Amino acid sequence: MNIYVLLKRTFDTEEKISIKNGQIEDDGAEYIINPYDEYAVEEAINIRDEHGGEVTVVTIGDEDSEKQLRTALAMGADKAVLVNTEDDLEEGDQFTTVKILEAFFEDRDVDIILGGNVAIDEASGQVGPRLAERLDIPCVTTITNIEIEGKNVKIERDVEGDVEKVETTLPLLVTCQQGLNEPRYPSLPGIMKAKKKPLDELEIDDLDLDEDDVEPKTRTTEIFLPPEKQAGKVLEGEVDDQVKELVSLLKTEAKVL
């Protein structure tokens, strides 16, 4: 099987993030594989181990993204591809990403493409469904289980606390949700093997694209951290007194009554 994983390099939201002049300061930010993409990498490896084939991880970014690709290779992926846009694009959006990926997959034989449900930096959840539309293949999002028998696929997906069962066929694009699997940590042998695995680098010229083709359709007007939460209040005394004080606070301070 020809198995592809869409991977994104994102900043670690559990680390301190600094913003200066409306931009995230890269020097102080920690970058990781988007956590939802780790589920995609793990599931791709599981599918390959069960059905045979090859796992190729693809990302769009600059040379710094090579670190995350090597991590995916250390987890067990077979090949990696970096579409380096550092010299060609100052900024991009979901349209840009999908346009590049569409050109990348144009002449490739694909059985299944896996990606994360959302990226934790922008959380749009658009890239997977939009790419499937452009490639004219089925798309199932937020999957928590997948079974492949020949060309037939049975999927369970998360639908706000319930489970929806879907039957479809290959070729297929899916986006992966927490609960699908438990991503493995790269082992020392895996890390050593990853250094020898192929990592190809392309530019948008190699995909017969130019800057006008991938010009973003949206723009970010401002980036800012959420306001710090004010300390809460603990009401004390008899219940009747607490109720009266709460009502008063809701009127005078919260102004919701």
Identify the helix (H) or strand (E) that includes residue 240: helix 239-252
What length is written for the chain? 257
The pLDDT value given to residue 249 = 87
Cα–Cα distances (Å) from 176 to 38, 65, 104, 115, in that order, read 9, 21, 21, 6
Instruction: Tell me 151's DSSP state.
Output: T
The pLDDT value given to residue 28 = 66
pTM: predicted TM-score of the whole model, two decimal places = 0.85
Maximum separation of any 2 CA atoms in the chain, in Å: 74
| Percent of the chain with pLDDT strictly greater than 70 | 99
Measured between alpha carbons, how far is 67 from 77 in angstroms, rounded to an integer? 14
Task: Assess contact for 58 and 104: CB atoms under 8 A.
Answer: yes
Chain-wide mean pLDDT for the chain?
A: 91
Question: What's the whole-number mean pLDDT along residues 239-246?
Answer: 90
Question: 143 in helix, strand or coil?
Answer: strand
Helices (H), 94-215: 94-105, 127-135, 188-194
Question: What's the whole-number mean pLDDT along residues 12-39?
Answer: 80
Structure tokens at 119: 């990226």
- The pLDDT tens digits of the residues spanning 139-194 come to 999 999 999 999 999 999 998 889 999 999 999 999 999 999 999 999 999 999 99
Structure tokens at 17: 């993030």
Q: Which domains does the chain have, with CATH numbers?
A: 2-207 (3.40.50.620), 227-257 (no CATH)
By CB neighbour count within 10 A (0-12 exposed, 13-18 middle, 19+ buried), where does 66 fall?
middle
- The 3-state secondary structure of 21-63, one letter per residue: CCEECHHHCCEEECHHHHHHHHHHHHHHHHHCCEEEEEEEECH
Question: 162 has which bridge partners?
Answer: 159
237 φ/ψ sector (left φ>0, alpha ψ -120 to 50, else beta) = left
